[in-house]
């Protein structure tokens, strides 16, 4: 066979931040490809995570859920051990959990409150230097959730992948990682560029044990986090005009398809890379 199978039958995947958006679609795509999938999120009370698990099970795959703060090493370690105990292995890790701007406009929580907060703070961002809005606590939180969590999760799964001489890690960064000079006081772009560097370093560190590590860099994706901004008509129009393919925001499942490719045998020799998926958004700046 010249074309390797994209089947993930027999694999066990962990997807973080999986209750909606890219995480949800990734969990379902990996399950459809044959993997059993453990999903975690900081927010479980809404029933969204349980609904994703039910969909995974409807595909004939095993599912496991957990309330996990990705920025807490002990919670990440405990959930990983639970996955191995109950599902027997872990061979795929998708680090998707994350929050947005360190100016606090895309935290998990009540959507109406977040929309109101976004409407209040956007004029301040546009009218003032970002450094005037900088808050250490918000900065630290974004770096912990978006960047430090990558290391916590990788460290948790590494012993099992090293033992099996096999594993794939995919980190979700952003096109903001390449936005030179963007919002210096906002930890979000910094955290996302850090993920690119972390991906390269982990690829070298783990590669000799048969473990591949890559990232995807989404842009202009139609997610709940982005909706804080895209509910404003002028901003949505600006975003869609810059998407070369179709002039529409990209669906989260497009990212899940790329992650499936990177976790499959088709990507056997790809490691340490960050693949941009944005419909041409970054070409039209």
CATH of the domain at 202: 3.40.50.720
61 is a domain residue = yes
Number of domains composing the chain:
1
Specify the pLDDT at position 118. Answer: 65
285 is a domain residue = no
Tens-binned pLDDT, residue by residue, of the chain (285 aa):
799 999 999 999 999 999 999 999 999 999 999 999 999 999 999 999 999 999 999 999 999 999 999 999 999 999 999 999 999 999 999 999 999 876 655 555 566 666 676 667 777 777 888 888 888 988 999 999 999 999 999 999 999 999 999 999 999 999 999 988 767 788 999 999 999 999 999 999 999 999 999 999 999 999 877 776 677 788 788 889 999 999 998 999 999 999 999 999 999 999 999 999 999 999 976
Specify the pLDDT at position 47. Answer: 97
Locate 53 and state its tokens.
């698990």
233 is a domain residue = yes
Confidence (pTM): 0.94
Q: Domain limits at 223?
A: 12-278
Q: Hey, how many other C-beta atoms are within 10 angstroms of the C-beta on 137?
A: 8
DSSP track, 129-174: -GGGG--HHHHHHHHIIIIIHHHHHHHHHHHHHHHHT-EEEEEE--
For the annotated catalytic residues, the residue numbers are 188
DSSP track, 70-94: TT-HHHHHHHHHHHHHHHS---EEE
Sheet holding 36-41, edge to edge: 63-67, 36-41, 12-16, 92-95, 167-172, 211-218, 274-277
6 is a domain residue = no
Specify the pLDDT at position 108. Answer: 54
187 is a domain residue = yes
7 is a domain residue = no
Specify the pLDDT at position 127. Answer: 83
4 is a domain residue = no
């Amino acid at each position: 066979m010249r074309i390797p199978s994209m089947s993930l039958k027999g694999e066990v995947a962990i997807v973080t931040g999986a209750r909606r958006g890219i995480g949800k679609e990734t969990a379902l795509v990996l399950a459809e490809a044959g993997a059993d999938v453990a999903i975690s999120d900081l927010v479980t009370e809404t029933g969204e995570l349980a609904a994703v698990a039910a969909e995974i099970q409807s595909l004939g795959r095993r599912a496991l859920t957990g309330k996990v703060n990705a920025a807490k090493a002990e919670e990440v370690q405990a959930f990983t051990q639970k996955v191995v105990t109950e599902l027997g292995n872990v061979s795929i890790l998708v680090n998707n959990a994350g929050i947005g701007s360190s100016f606090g406009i895309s935290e998990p929580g009540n959507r109406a409150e977040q929309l109101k907060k976004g409407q209040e703070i956007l004029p301040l961002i546009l009218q003032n230097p970002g450094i005037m809005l900088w808050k250490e606590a918000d900065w630290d939180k974004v770096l912990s959730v978006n960047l430090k969590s990558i290391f916590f999760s990788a460290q948790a799964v590494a012993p099992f992948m090293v033992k099996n001489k096999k594993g794939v890690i995919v980190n979700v960064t952003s096109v903001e990682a390449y936005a030179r000079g963007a919002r210096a006081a906002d930890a979000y772009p910094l955290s996302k560029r850090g993920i690119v560097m972390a991906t390269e370093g982990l690829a070298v560190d783990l590669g000799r044990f048969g473990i591949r590590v890559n990232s995807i860099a989404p842009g202009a994706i139609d997610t709940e986090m982005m909706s804080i901004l895209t509910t404003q008509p002028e901003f949505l129009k600006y975003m869609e005009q810059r998407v070369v393919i179709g002039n529409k925001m990209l669906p989260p499942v497009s990212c899940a398809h790329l992650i499936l490719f990177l976790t499959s045998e088709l990507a056997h020799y790809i490691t340490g890379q960050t693949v941009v998926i944005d419909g041409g958004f970054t070409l039209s700046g």
